[in-house]
Amino acid sequence: MSLTTTQPRPIRLPTLILCLLAAALIWLLNALNKNNYTVNVQYPIEFIYDQKRYVPTSPLPKTLTVNITGNGWKLFRKTWLPFRSQPIRYPIDRPLQTKFINTASLAAALTEHAKDVRVNFVAGDTLALNFDLLAVQEVPVKVDSAGIDLADRMVVSSLINVSPQTIRFEGPARLLRAVPDTIKVKIPARRLALSYDEELRLPIPRHPLIRASTDQVAVSFEVAELLQPLPVTPAPEPAKPQEETKPAKTTKKAKSTHRK
C-alpha cells in the first residue's frame, strides 16, 4: 500500500485580493446603513447683495464648513459630492454695516434647506465680511510733451493724439482715492527724428479690486525738421529803479529888526 502526501494548494493572490475587497465592500455597505454619524462637510454658499452699489474688499467664501449628523448614505453623498447641492443663499441688506456672517441664522437656513440631515453648527475662521461703496472715476490722459527727446533740429509739427483720452476706473471708493487726477504718459523713445505712432502702457495703480477700461493708449504725432531757427523774442529789460529825489532844503530867513 503506497502512501501519497497531498501538497497544500498555493494561494492565488488575485483571488485573495478579490475576497478582501468583497469583505470591505460588505462592511462599508452595512456601516452606511447606520444612523447618527457626525461629519464636517463643505457646503456651497451664495451671498445676495446689491452688486451695483457695493463691492467686497475681501474675498467672499464660496463654501462653509458645516457640522451635520445623519444617515451614512446621506452623509456620504454630501461629503463626496458637496457641489451637487444647491448653494444656500445668504442675503446682506446693509453691506457697510454687516461685518460678520450670522452663523445662528445661517444654521437655521441650512436646517430648512437640507432637511435630510441635522445641522449642528457652522464652523470656520473666514466669517468676516468687508464691503465698500462701488465708485467710478474717469481720469484724463496727457502726454508729457516737455519730456519728448528729439534729435537736433527736429520739432513736433502736429498735435499729439492720444486714444483713448480718458480712462474709466471702477472699484472700492477707498481705493480709488489713490488714483491720480491726471495720468501723464512719457515717451520712451530717444533722439526722435521720425513721426511717432506707438501704444504705450499706462502708469496706473495695479490692484485686483480696481478695474480699468484699458491699461494702454495709442500716442501719435508728427516730427519735422526745423529749416530756420525760431525767432527769439528778446527778453524785456528789467526796469531801472527810480532814483530817490531828496526834498530841497528850505532855509529860514532871519528877520532883521531895525531900530528907529
Helix axes 13-32 and 72-80, enclosed angle (nearest 10): 110
Q: 119 and 184, same structural domain?
A: no
Report the candidate in 201, 207, 159 with the shortest Cα–Cα distance to residue 183: 201
Q: 145 and 78, same structural domain?
A: no
**Residue 73 or residue 202, greater confidence:** 202
Q: 91 and 73, same structural domain?
A: yes
User: Domain total for the chain?
Assistant: 2
Residue 229 CB burial class (10 angstroms; 0-12, 13-18, ≥19): exposed
Residue 106 has pLDDT above 90, yes or no: no
CA distances from 73 to 32, 130, 136 (A): 5, 38, 51
In a domain, 230, yes or no: no
pTM: 0.65
DSSP 91: E
Give the cell for residue 50: 446689491
> Which tens digit of pLDDT belongs to each residue from 30-44?
655 566 777 788 888
SS3 243: coil
Range of the domain at 217: 135-225
